[in-house]
């Protein structure tokens, strides 16, 4: 069966780089939403706990329930239902959200400091704070999201200044023990000094990638995930000119071995463009290439090995498809077994 390996050493290497940027490991929250960016929700939760991190961020309440035993704090960004657990913290993205929660629920208020996606407007802040008080909710956090932390320009610094001014408003409204946070992966590494008195949310960087202009000089990170396929068949009696797979876009031309491996687009490995296949532009870590169109459940590769590493880094595939590593990784099926190595 196909499987995914998760490198403990690489994951810890990336987290150590983040650790150097913050005052305390207690300030780090690992982002585990969407199956930990395809790496396996509980698999990465176990590793983060082993590293010494006790804060996490997820998208759904169902995700929080799966990893509840690993963390003392779990921020839920878009909860689909509510459970009053001490380590669950629910995001308020709008004024309407405030009315959804019963008394004494832990909440964190998200403010729109310039992203213009989710979060209350700064002009709504005082009204929101008063409404939270009147409804008896426990405000435990206040945060924002940076729009262009991975881009050159002043946007990051403008948003930081706006957010810092709003922090003063929250404190002046007599809210205590508030968890403030704004920095994502790129924001962490663009901070010129150690980040103190604020949590950081590390997502894609913990998995070995960071996007951005090369002039920003982000650190070299190590990809954590590798995708492996298992041989399920082999083409016998190869003869030059034989056409392979749907449409016959590839022909045998001197290959000694061609085997079929159990990875296809139903597993989340996208169908490669025909020109990439015909020109053998996508290569595995062992320099093998795909022949023929990728099928729903399989692909043909010029190898006779029992197992083939399909990719070790999502960056090459991201370039081929004109997208980001995020999209390549999160599409990997959660049915594929994850193995920590």
Report the DSSP pairing between strands 179-183 and 199-202.
parallel
pLDDT tens figures, 210-261: 987 666 788 999 999 999 999 999 998 898 999 999 999 999 999 999 999 9
Please name which of 304, 284, 286 lies closest in space to residue 236, comparing C-alpha atoms: 304
Q: What pLDDT is attached to residue 116?
A: 83
Q: What pLDDT is attached to residue 168?
A: 87
Q: What pLDDT is attached to residue 166?
A: 87
Model's pTM, two decimal places?
A: 0.94
Answer whether 129's CB lies under 8 Å from 97's CB: no
Radius of gyration of the chain (CA): 23
Q: Tell me 216's DSSP state.
A: G
Report the DSSP pairing between strands 290-291 and 337-340.
unpaired
Per the DSSP assignment, residues forming a β-bridge with 73 are 55
CA distance linking residue 179 with residue 173, whole number of Å:
15
Q: What pLDDT is attached to residue 2?
A: 96
Sorted by where each starts, the structural domains of the chain and their CATH numbers stand as: 8-216 (3.20.20.10), 225-312 (2.40.37.10)
Where the chain has pLDDT below 50, the residues are none
- Dihedral sign for Cα 315, 321, 323, 327, please: negative
Answer whether 233's CB lies under 8 Å from 306's CB: no
CA distance linking residue 319 with residue 327, whole number of Å:
11
CA distance linking residue 327 with residue 311, whole number of Å:
15
Q: Cite the active site residues.
A: 33, 246
Q: What pLDDT is attached to residue 175?
A: 84
**Beta-carbon-side half-sphere exposure of residue 300 (alpha carbons within 13 Å):** 21
- Dihedral sign for Cα 332, 115, 83, 24, please: positive
Q: Tell me 215's DSSP state.
A: G
Query: In degrees rounded to 5, what are phi and psi of residue 267?
Result: -90, 0
CA distance linking residue 163 with residue 224, whole number of Å:
33
Q: What pLDDT is attached to residue 177?
A: 85
First to last CA, the chain: 17
CA distance linking residue 67 with residue 36, whole number of Å:
11
Q: What pLDDT is attached to residue 325?
A: 96
pLDDT tens figures, 44-82: 999 999 999 999 999 999 999 999 999 999 999 999 999
Q: What pLDDT is attached to residue 190?
A: 83
Per the DSSP assignment, residues forming a β-bridge with 202 are 30
Answer whether 319's CB lies under 8 Å from 198's CB: no
Answer whether 337's CB lies under 8 Å from 1's CB: yes
Please name which of 289, 309, 218 lies closest in space to residue 7, comparing C-alpha atoms: 309
Helix H or strand E encompassing 41: helix 41-51
Please name which of 200, 186, 113, 189 lies closest in space to residue 148, comparing C-alpha atoms: 186
Per the DSSP assignment, residues forming a β-bridge with 138 are 106
Q: Where are the alpha helices (DSSP H) in 106-238?
A: 125-134, 155-172, 185-190
């Amino acid at each position: 069966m196909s499987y995914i390996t998760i490198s403990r050493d690489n994951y810890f290497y990336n987290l150590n780089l983040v650790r150097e940027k913050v005052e305390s490991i207690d300030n780090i929250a690992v982002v585990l939403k969407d199956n930990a960016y395809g790496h396996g929700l509980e698999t990465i939760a176990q590793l983060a706990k082993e590293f010494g991190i006790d804060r996490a961020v997820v998208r759904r309440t169902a995700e929080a329930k799966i990893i509840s035993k690993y963390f003392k704090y779990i921020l839920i960004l878009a909860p689909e239902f509510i459970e009053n657990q001490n380590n669950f913290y629910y995001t308020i993205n709008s004024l309407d959200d405030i009315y959804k929660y019963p008394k004494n629920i832990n909440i964190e208020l998200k403010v729109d400091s310039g992203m213009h996606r989710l979060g209350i407007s700064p002009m709504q802040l005082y009204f929101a704070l008063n409404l939270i008080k009147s409804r008896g909710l426990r405000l435990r956090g206040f945060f924002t999201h940076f729009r262009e932390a991975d881009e050159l320009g002043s946007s990051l610094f403008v948003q930081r200044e706006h957010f810092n001014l709003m922090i003063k408003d929250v404190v002046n409204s007599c809210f205590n023990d508030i968890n403030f946070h704004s920095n994502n992966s790129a924001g962490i590494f663009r901070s010129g000094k150690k980040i103190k008195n604020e949590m950081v949310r590390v997502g894609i960087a913990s998995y070995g990638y960071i996007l951005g202009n090369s002039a920003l000089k982000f650190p070299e990170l190590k990809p954590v995930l590798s995708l492996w396929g298992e041989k399920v068949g082999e083409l016998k009696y190869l003869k030059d000119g034989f056409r392979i797979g749907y449409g016959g876009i590839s022909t045998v031309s001197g290959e000694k071995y061609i085997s079929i491996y159990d990875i296809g687009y139903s597993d989340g490995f996208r169908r490669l463009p025909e020109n990439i296949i015909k020109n053998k532009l996508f290569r595995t870590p062992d320099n093998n290439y795909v022949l023929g169109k990728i099928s729903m459940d399989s692909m043909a590769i010029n190898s006779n090995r029992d197992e083939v590493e399909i990719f070790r880094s999502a960056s090459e595939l991201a370039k081929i498809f004109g997208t980001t590593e995020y999209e390549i990784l999160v599409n990997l099926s959660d049915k594929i077994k994850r193995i920590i190595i």
